[in-house]
Amino acid sequence: MKPKPTLLAVFAHPDDEAYGPGGTLAKYAILGADVHMITFTCGEAGSIGVSKTLPPDELCRRRREELHGAADALGLASCRIVGEPDGGLERIDEEKGARIVLGAIREIRPHVVITFHREGVSGHADHKAVYRFVRRAFALAGDDRPRRLFGWCILESRLHIYRGERKIYAADDSEVAAVIDIPRDAMDRKIDAIERHETQIEFFGQLKEWFGDYRDATSREFFERIDRRGGAAGPVVTDLFDGIDGAAFAGTDRSEPPGDRR
């Protein structure tokens, strides 16, 4: 019997999954994959909205609850918070961080792992540290190595919809290796997950102001391949499991050229 298609997502903070590739996580859960997530911190150093008024231990408690609610909304098979310090991941030894991810890889045995783009999308030091941990874990995994390693990214050609926001480190369109279309049911789950992060909800209001139609603006999610050199050489696939025996959900059709659909 062939193993069930399995995906592991690795992030730094609660809400990274929902504001990031939450549509992709929801889509694969709906399709029947086992989708798992580990998050390195509980987000106790958050500074958006009500977060600024809460002591770190209370904010940590609330954000843990919010993350588990978001994971339920997305349909994840499991969700675990490691418990490392928010804002302090860059001070963790890379080998230690990698061993945490490697332990999850060996326990879950995913076909596909996703994390941040190499610049962390927002440039956050915690995001970039997690990228390094995941990449190092992939190198250490040996026979347990997943078949694909992707980094979620925002494209250079789509920066204009962020209305001049400067805290975005975009990927060049030529780096894109996968474009995932997010159907309505997966988008419903993504928005539900975002709304579960009540302490961070002010950011959702900002995005809706920038985008106008949030659903349309986020109806595709973009990924670079981290596990190979040469950027996005080869076709841009529409399924993260493409080419994995017994695990693919779609064909190898090339997507529309990446960029703005609006």
- Boundaries of every domain in the chain: 6-225
pLDDT higher than 60, residue 30: yes
Inter-residue contact 18 to 70 (CB < 8 Å):
yes
Task: Give the CATH architecture of domain 6-225.
Answer: 3-Layer(aba) Sandwich (3.40)
pLDDT confidence band for 245 (50 / 70 / 90): confident
The predicted-structure confidence for 31-48, as pLDDT tens digits, reads as follows 999 999 999 999 999 988
| Those residues with Cβ within 8 angstroms of residue 45's Cβ, 6 or more apart along the chain or in another chain | 56, 85, 86, 87
Pairing of strands 34-39, 148-153: unpaired
Question: Considering the chain, what is the average pLDDT of its residues?
Answer: 91
pLDDT confidence band for 235 (50 / 70 / 90): confident
pLDDT for the residue numbered 253: 42
pLDDT higher than 60, residue 260: no
| Dihedral sign from CA coordinates of 93, 66, 222, 166 | negative
* C-alpha to C-alpha distance for 246 and 134, rounded to whole angstroms: 25
The predicted-structure confidence for 174-199, as pLDDT tens digits, reads as follows 999 999 999 999 999 999 999 999 99
Report the chain's terminal Cα–Cα distance, integer Å: 43
* C-alpha to C-alpha distance for 152 and 23, rounded to whole angstroms: 11
Q: Per the structure block, which two tokens stand in for 110? A: 């995913």
Is the entire prediction scored with pTM above 0.85? yes
